[in-house]
Structure 1
Amino acid sequence: MTEHLRLSPAQSPLWYAQQLDPASPVYNTADYVRIEGPLDVARFEAAVRQAVGEAESLHTRYGSDDAGPWQVIDPRPFPFPVRECGEDEALAWMRADVRTSVDLAEGPLFAQALFQVGPRTWLWHQRIHHIAIDGFAFSMLARRVADLYTMGEGRPFRPFVTVLEVADAYLVSPKHPADREFWRGYLDGMPEPAALAAPAPVADHTVRAVTRIGPERAAELKGLGVGWPELFAAATAAYLHRMTGTTEAVLGLPVMGRLGTPLLRVPAIVMNIVPLRVPVRPDQTLPGLARQIAAEIRRSRPHHRYRHEQMRRDLGLVGSDRRLFGPVVNAMPFDNDLRFGTAAGTMHNISAGPVEDLALGIRDFGDGTGMSLEVDGNPARYTESGLAGHLDRLLRLLAEPETPLGRLRLGPAVVPRRPVWRDRDATPVLDRIARQVEATPDAVAVEQGGTRYTYAELWARAGAVAADLAHRGVEADSLVAVRMRREPDAVVAILGVLLAGAAYLPIDPDGPAGRNTDVLADARPLLIMEEVAGGKAVVRRNVPEDALAYVIYTSGSTGRPNGVEISRGALSHFVAAATCRYGFTDRDRVLQFAALHFDASVEEIFGTLSTGGTLVLREPEMHASAETFLRACGELRLTVLDLPTAFWHELVHALTTQDIRVPDSVRTVIIGGEAALPDRVAAWQQIAPNVQLFNTYGPTESTVVATSASIGR
């Protein structure tokens, strides 16, 4: 019986990810080697078959049982087609092959092919599932084939089990807890990684922009007195600084994870990606920033084997949309001067696997012919033209390495593609909040002044309210009035009503007595809640999506107030669309500005809690003046402000006439309620160019917002 082996720490996340969409080809990686010169095809094929045969990870098949996933090494014959065609046709074939679905249970995990595209020009294609290989291993395979072809010998690869043995030794060594403590300290206080586009799910393919850096320009970049890998990392951090205003870029740094181990002779997936924090100032130059990055890498290098997946677990980010790093910058200094007898070969990447946001790949050809720069993007975030624009401006930044970053002229930004919300994303709101409770129970959900409720506390308090309401006869489609001021317990009450299966009716306790009387007489709620008591019971009722979520009465400006009934399904669809549109994340601190009897409060409350952020309730004195308001926003570290347009108009006027400014923490402002004045919009774009501004409109009957326009940044 073939031995079942467990998965390595690098393989496990990929296996689980592939199970979510077994037919997705997103985890395919591919390179081709361009060979110039005479080639003995039979001899080359023999070298490929021997090298591939030695690479045990390519021959694994996967299964699972009660103990979890396992793998077996099961070598089988594989095809090696050799074709004569044009280069464009060969490249098109390779790109199509990369989109081949791979069955991890049956295999094969790879494909090999050779194309003759000219009298002395050959393209050798390798496509391999990422669970079996990383970028360094691709280079290792190519080097082994070159050695076998040229010399007919050389050191064979070590067996795959070496990967598991090295992982075991690391986990029980004193180095593992020491590395954990290093990264806990390193990541403490790390900001949300800046990005050039709003968050979106990872797509099953990527878009790419590629450019070639000629030998003369490559020599100039290498002559700046800093390492070229650090220089490109510096350029990426500087570009993020210029385009987003961030003062600390957080990059993803791929690291080999092999040095000092036997894994230098094992083709498998071993590489890790670690976060790299890069403070950026406008007075710096690229070489200065590169030297700073080099020092930071030297400091973290002894700890590079600690897996980034474990860092996420340590930070409580499992199940969260929060990213550990922004753009990934992969400098590939692998030896690229391959020799197949007298023929010369150079490696070229076709696909590097899935991309969450952006990934930059920089390869030095090593033969004096220059470098290549590839930018891969998540198509849910970027278009090909958008990537090309980013690449063009990045090259312009590299063209002036000695100019202080704040004085560079990069040209206008391409408006990034915003994520597309789809109807199937409309998970019930209570289920979305429950996920956050499970994923980050100790994160702060609601705060006001000195009062803070974690997600676990908020859920438990709301559950106690639901249990009490059920005891009082509240059931599905009952209507419960919540007559409470803006305070954390009011949020508890609203969630408690929904958990009980009922709908809530917000009543302004300080509103006109006549209006409140009319509303209550018309709505006839079963109960009126004016306070929340303690307790720990958590009760969930299964309520159909066509049941009511809340009832809000219009202002009555055209007569008597009219009650608007909003279903749970409508609420779920709105929250899914709004959080996607605004890019809410679990790192956001959202101001709860609107009174609870206005439907803007629905956007603030449920948009925040369903994504794991912190809802910060406004206190009465906060908007005494524009200066007071902005100072409070800064002190509270607010990232998202949802404001009435009239209030925003006054705020913009104050910003243009007083010595005050928008706090650095604010990334997004949402306005609505009336038309935005063009002169205020123009002023805002000068005052806060790096703050996203959304102008929204929607009658209460359409569930808060029907349309939105991005008119800033």
Structure 2
Amino acid sequence: MNQSFHGVWFTEQASVAGTTYHMAVGIRFDGELDRHALGEACAAVIARHPALSSAVAVDRDLPRLVPAAEKVTLTDAPFSEARLREEIARRYDLGRGPLARFTLLRESDTRHLLLVTAHHLVFDGTSKEILVNDLAAAYGGAALEPLAEAAPSPSDVESAKAYWAGRWAAPGEVVLPELVRTPVAAEPGATVELTLPGVAVDGLTRFEVVLGAVHVLLARYGNTGLPVTIGLSTRSEQTTDHIGLHVTELPVTVAAATGGFRDYALGLRSRLRELYRHRAVPLAQVVGGLRVAPALTPISVGYRRRGPAPAFPGVTASVEWSLFGGGARNALHLQIVDGDDGLAVSLQHSPDAIPTAAVARIGEHLRTVLAAVADDHDVDVATMPIMPPAELDTVLRRWNDTAREQRGTVPELFAAQVRHRPHDVAVVDGDHRLTYAELDAASAELAARLPGPGALIAVRLPRGWKAVVAMLAVMRSGGAYVPVDPAYPPARQELILADARPALVIDGLGALPEPQPVTEGIGEAAYVMYTSGSTGRPKGVVVPHGALANLLLGMAETLGSGPDDRWLGLTSLSFDISGLELFLPLVTGGRLVIAGSTGALDGRALTALIGREGVTHVQATPSGWQVLLDAGFDGRATITALAGGEVLPLDLARQVRARVARLHNVYGPTETTIWSTTDELPAEPSAVTIGRPIANTQAYVVDADGRPLPIGVWGELRIGGHGVASGYLRRPDLTEERFQDNPFAAGRLYRTGDRCRWAADGRIVYGGRTDGQVKVRGHRVELEEIETRLREHPGVAQAAVALRGGELAAYVVARGTAPDGAELRRHLAETLPAAMVPTRWSTLAQLPVSPNGKLDRAALPEPAPSRAPAAETGAAGEADELVAVLRGIWQEVLAIDDIGVDEDLFDLGGHSLTITRINVRIMQQLGREVPLEVFFDTPTIAEIAHHLREHGLPEHGLRERA
């Protein structure tokens, strides 16, 4: 048997194949079918191709075909779709056989379906054609001559090893629309069937055109570098007419989408021709450690060119070449049958891993690509359309139809509320209460003492009524405020002030220092909010009045906020989301209830304050909500809750939602003014998204070149609309890098650096960062800034920081004696806020780097890993009787004289056949069988010995067998 046969058998033994190896072909007959002649024809085909009536026996560790215990005969049954599916999915007893079945399903006296099902061990795509042609010939009265036995084809294993040594890399992340996960074993499947037009391109085969179109589509999804398996025939001249398994699957890497289509497909052709030279050797035979699975890669393609169906005398016959076996072999398998009437495409998948509706859209994307190629054979693959017009219109316009008529600034909107309700309480801060009239008077008095329009004024006050007065005063004077948290380390405060260069710093509401002259106006800005910077220098985001007012009025519409509502002021003024909870109640006639600096950290005090003051709206980070829940917050039926600033875990969302009237998950960068999208979660949420754009806001999910991506495909989120900030204060270079003109509508876009995708219902799913920025307890943190500060310590040569379990973990390479974590913590605390100081520390000999020499953050180890027990080595290993038996088996099978107990089986040249042989010998000598997956997870002698002991191999039994 060939190596492909062994690979299929081995996968079946691992119980991961499901029904993916069940192959089927159907012949529909219309007319007066000669049932006797058909039975004779089936018998003749079975006699000519003994593989169909075979079973599998294991001889000297190797599987081989032997005659089945029973003959294959033609059986009859009434037709139904359920019976059809049942026959295809019916399991095979490989050891007993037979490995093929012939069933005639009767629909009526003049309509029948001959269903031939066979296991892939004895059948492939070409076998279907051979079988149908032989059946037609025999039905027409021709005698089928016996076939000569084919000799095994030679294969150059060493050449294949050398070829794949520098080319094979395990598949990384797979990007398909709405893909939830990549199956690692066969699963119950579904298929989407469609017919696509065949496209002829000069200089390319039809196969190269359609495979090129598939690769272009996958590259545009974001799969550059992903290996995609294709089925390649291994038939020789001797096996041309034989039914059997004469195909192998080998991977072809997806190239980046650049150049014209013809050149792209020609490049694919050259890679295919390299594969052809090594197709006789399956990859599993030359690459160690490949996990047993029915598919080599997450995406695979099968292609067959079909001629017209042969004639069956006296009846009209049509062939159904691609009857689905019912199993999903991987994330997506594209089975393509190329016939005279176009491309019959079957998109096979697991609905639990990727929604069938998303797979249907993949089919339409492929149709769009082929149509573009038909129009222009040299179309630019980087810019060619991949979405049909309706889907493109949906993601660009329909889901961004958020236009609202909104006018005014915070001072103007606040003034209107003062006129309507001057004596209503506006602010509660402990025992201190201010009415709208009192707040208006206090802010007007302070505004009169400020420099005036265009001035940048720092407000360095703790959260409280004085800070509210100061911020309102700055805005009504025509200036822009810069919040500086007095709780920040002094060095951090000085960094912000040095960069902002404010005309004045407000530390209180009494006498003010003489302001600096205003040498440059701040324009229409309402405030400048400082965020972490990747160079170690914080950057100031300039937010205009219109953007702030749009946020407040848009959220008022979304949430509902009016005179009867009371908002909790909980957030640090240097965290931009504080703007919503401070100003939204004041521009809608409600009441602001401020939690003091100490109370904001005390869950019990907050819970009491919420109840005492009748708070109706609470905004907090998920970390903040966890504090409330831990303090016993049992909720109020009137509360509208907002969670934002970091990822909201589903379990926490369920806990919060169960305690409040409404829960909104909100999302937005500082650069697009606090919140840009919102999602109201149902009573029992099953998922958490960041929702849809708020009023006058547009959201676009695009690729690295700014082109819109289809529904469900991961890309970068870019945000446009009224909320987009003016840019970074005195940082034109950074502003140009992160802000751009909107190519889809009027205005500008902000590049968030957030990885997102559209859900099918128009909500946005958040998938983390595309760069080194993370959220820690709601605070936006640039990892590179922390790394810059760490490298300033004299004892640190290199540094890296990563998010692990929601906490920052620091990794340092020491210069000389390594400083301890406490010392490094103190060093960072001098310049960084507490949220930016790592809590976990590790010292490494060197930092992991990617092939291009950059820090490979994903490869950083878990901090302070627990050490596994050391494997037995040296004398102890030699004295261990079980280890000695296993070492003897390893040495015999691998033909290596001396093997250490900790050496990796696959590093020693092992593969699936090796495992089979080792397992047979373990069973013979020790009476135990090791599950195949254990060899992949723990591929050393010491680990297999540990597994056997853990699963009940007694020492006395070992001695008896010895």
TM-score by length of 2: 0.39
2:152 matched residue in structure 1: 166
Q: Is the 8 A contact 1:149 1:340 kept in 2?
A: yes
Cα deviation, 1:438-459, whole Å, max 9, x if unaligned, reads xxxxxxxxxxxxxxxxxxxxxx
1:182 matched residue in structure 2: 163
Secondary structure (helix, strand or coil) at the match of 2:40 reads: helix
**Shift in Å at residue 227 of structure 1?**
1.9
Q: Which residues in structure 2 correspond to 1:569-608 (within 5 Å)?
A: none
Amino acid at match of 1:250: P
1:257 matched residue in structure 2: 234
Q: Is the 8 A contact 1:206 1:378 kept in 2?
A: yes
- d(CA) in 1 for partners of 2:64 and 2:293? 28
Cα deviation, 1:100-132, whole Å, max 9, x if unaligned, reads 122212223222112344665432211112222
**Shift in Å at residue 37 of structure 1?**
5.0
1:131 matched residue in structure 2: 121
1:391 matched residue in structure 2: 363
Secondary structure (helix, strand or coil) at the match of 1:310 reads: helix
Which one scores higher on RCO, CA 8 angstroms, separation ≥ 6?
1
2:277 matched residue in structure 1: 302
- d(CA) in 2 for partners of 1:82 and 1:348? 21
**Shift in Å at residue 410 of structure 1?**
1.1
Q: Which residues in structure 2 correspond to 1:429-468 (within 5 Å)?
A: none
- d(CA) in 2 for partners of 1:63 and 1:46? 29
Amino acid at match of 1:40: D
Cα deviation, 1:3-27, whole Å, max 9, x if unaligned, reads xxxx531222222322233994343
Secondary structure (helix, strand or coil) at the match of 1:350 reads: coil
Secondary structure (helix, strand or coil) at the match of 1:254 reads: strand
Equivalent position to 1:239, from 217, 226, 231: 217
Equivalent position to 2:204, from 205, 217, 226: 226
2:266 matched residue in structure 1: 291
Q: Is the 8 A contact 2:294 2:329 kept in 1?
A: no
Amino acid at match of 1:31: V
Equivalent position to 1:369, from 316, 322, 341: 341
The yes-or-no answer on 1:273 pairing with 2:245 is no
1:355 matched residue in structure 2: 329
**Shift in Å at residue 209 of structure 1?**
0.5
Secondary structure (helix, strand or coil) at the match of 1:337 reads: coil
Q: Which has the higher helix share?
A: 1
**Shift in Å at residue 394 of structure 1?**
1.6
Q: Is the 8 A contact 1:35 1:346 kept in 2?
A: no
C-alpha spacing 1:668/1:397, structure 2 compared with 1 (3 Å): farther
- d(CA) in 1 for partners of 2:244 and 2:352? 30
- d(CA) in 2 for partners of 1:63 and 1:669? 56
Q: Identify unmatched segments of 5+ residues in structure 2.
A: 396-622, 628-649, 652-726, 739-750, 756-768, 781-802, 809-838, 840-962
C-alpha spacing 1:284/1:61, structure 2 compared with 1 (3 Å): same
**Shift in Å at residue 386 of structure 1?**
2.1
2:185 matched residue in structure 1: 202
**Shift in Å at residue 698 of structure 1?**
10
Cα deviation, 1:313-342, whole Å, max 9, x if unaligned, reads 3xxx33489985442221111434222125
Secondary structure (helix, strand or coil) at the match of 1:57 reads: helix
C-alpha spacing 1:120/1:288, structure 2 compared with 1 (3 Å): farther
Q: Greater shift after overlay, 223-232 or 103-112?
A: 223-232
Equivalent position to 2:134, from 144, 156, 161: 144
The yes-or-no answer on 1:109 pairing with 2:187 is no
- d(CA) in 1 for partners of 2:387 and 2:122? 40
Q: Is the 8 A contact 2:175 2:221 kept in 1?
A: no
- d(CA) in 2 for partners of 1:154 and 1:199? 45
The yes-or-no answer on 1:54 pairing with 2:54 is no
- d(CA) in 2 for partners of 1:669 and 1:394? 34
Amino acid at match of 2:5: Q
Q: Is the 8 A contact 1:248 1:280 kept in 2?
A: yes
Amino acid at match of 1:408: P
Q: Is the 8 A contact 1:193 1:326 kept in 2?
A: no
**Shift in Å at residue 251 of structure 1?**
2.1
**Shift in Å at residue 254 of structure 1?**
0.6
Secondary structure (helix, strand or coil) at the match of 2:204 reads: coil
The yes-or-no answer on 1:673 pairing with 2:776 is yes
The yes-or-no answer on 1:15 pairing with 2:9 is yes
- d(CA) in 1 for partners of 2:202 and 2:286? 34
Q: Is the 8 A contact 2:53 2:71 kept in 1?
A: no
- d(CA) in 2 for partners of 1:668 and 1:255? 39
- d(CA) in 1 for partners of 2:221 and 2:111? 42
Q: Greater shift after overlay, 233-242 or 7-16?
A: 7-16
- d(CA) in 1 for partners of 2:34 and 2:285? 47
Q: Is the 8 A contact 1:207 1:383 kept in 2?
A: no
**Shift in Å at residue 372 of structure 1?**
0.9
1:492 matched residue in structure 2: none
Q: Which residues in structure 2 correspond to 1:447-596 (within 5 Å)?
A: none
Number of aligned residues: 425
**Shift in Å at residue 138 of structure 1?**
2.1
Amino acid at match of 2:356: E
C-alpha spacing 1:671/1:81, structure 2 compared with 1 (3 Å): farther
C-alpha spacing 1:249/1:140, structure 2 compared with 1 (3 Å): same
Amino acid at match of 1:270: H
C-alpha spacing 1:663/1:275, structure 2 compared with 1 (3 Å): farther
**Shift in Å at residue 210 of structure 1?**
0.3
**Shift in Å at residue 383 of structure 1?**
2.5
Following superposition, which runs of at least 4 residues in structure 1 exceed 6 angstroms of deviation?
320-323, 652-656, 660-664, 666-670, 694-699
**Shift in Å at residue 141 of structure 1?**
1.5
Alpha carbon RMSD of aligned pairs, Å? 4.5
1:25 matched residue in structure 2: 19
C-alpha spacing 1:676/1:255, structure 2 compared with 1 (3 Å): farther
Q: Greater shift after overlay, 320-329 or 135-144?
A: 320-329
Q: Is the 8 A contact 2:16 2:293 kept in 1?
A: no
2:319 matched residue in structure 1: 346
Secondary structure (helix, strand or coil) at the match of 1:328 reads: strand
Q: Is the 8 A contact 2:48 2:144 kept in 1?
A: no
1:657 matched residue in structure 2: 735
Amino acid at match of 1:19: Q
C-alpha spacing 1:110/1:189, structure 2 compared with 1 (3 Å): closer
- d(CA) in 1 for partners of 2:186 and 2:770? 25
C-alpha spacing 1:278/1:241, structure 2 compared with 1 (3 Å): closer
**Shift in Å at residue 179 of structure 1?**
3.6
- d(CA) in 1 for partners of 2:210 and 2:168? 26
**Shift in Å at residue 672 of structure 1?**
5.1
Q: Is the 8 A contact 2:184 2:293 kept in 1?
A: no
Q: Is the 8 A contact 2:25 2:319 kept in 1?
A: no
Amino acid at match of 1:657: T
Amino acid at match of 1:253: I
1:329 matched residue in structure 2: 301
Q: Is the 8 A contact 2:212 2:264 kept in 1?
A: yes
- d(CA) in 2 for partners of 1:36 and 1:59? 28
Amino acid at match of 1:345: S
- d(CA) in 1 for partners of 2:279 and 2:64? 26
TM-score by length of 1: 0.52
